[in-house]
Homo-oligomer: A and B are copies of this chain.
Amino acid sequence: MKLITRDTDYAVRALREIAQSKEKMVSTVYLEEKLGIPRAFLRKILQLLQKSGILDSAKGNQGGFILARPAQDILLLDIIKVFQGDVCVSECVFLKEPCSQKSCCPLRGELKKIENYALERLGAVTLKSLSANTRK
């Protein structure tokens, strides 16, 4: 059971790297070498982060990516949402076949509590705090 997919995990690593960089723009090639993430996949991930407003980008020579806002304003929850949609632990397993049991389903209540807790924790973690944790 995974709360975090590989996209998200890679994204966090790349973002930490970008946050810590002193360069103006950080390129995919640089990140690939530093992190060992397959380049094409990493590119897709960075493009998504750009579209969602977490990264700014520059095309052309010397181009690359940079944080669109300070690291303390980027939440782990924001990053998760880009790749995994809304955090919704209590999602009905029959979401697509309109479910007749929504109001009486014996699981929803408990799952909702867990979801709320998860949202609270994930919303409290910023990219900045994730970077601080590094020096173990």
Contacts and interface: CB of A to CB of B under 8 A. Distances in A.
Interface in A76-108: 76, 84-85, 87-91, 93-94, 103-104, 106-107
A6 to B, nearest CB: 5
| A-B CB proximity, top 4 nearest | A106-B130, A3-B89, A104-B136, A6-B93
Interface stretch (A42-50, A56-64, A118-126): A118-126
Nearest to A109: B133
B91 A134 contact: no
Interface residues of A, number: 38
Contacts of A4: 93, 107, 111
A115 to B, nearest CB: 8
B107 A118 contact: no
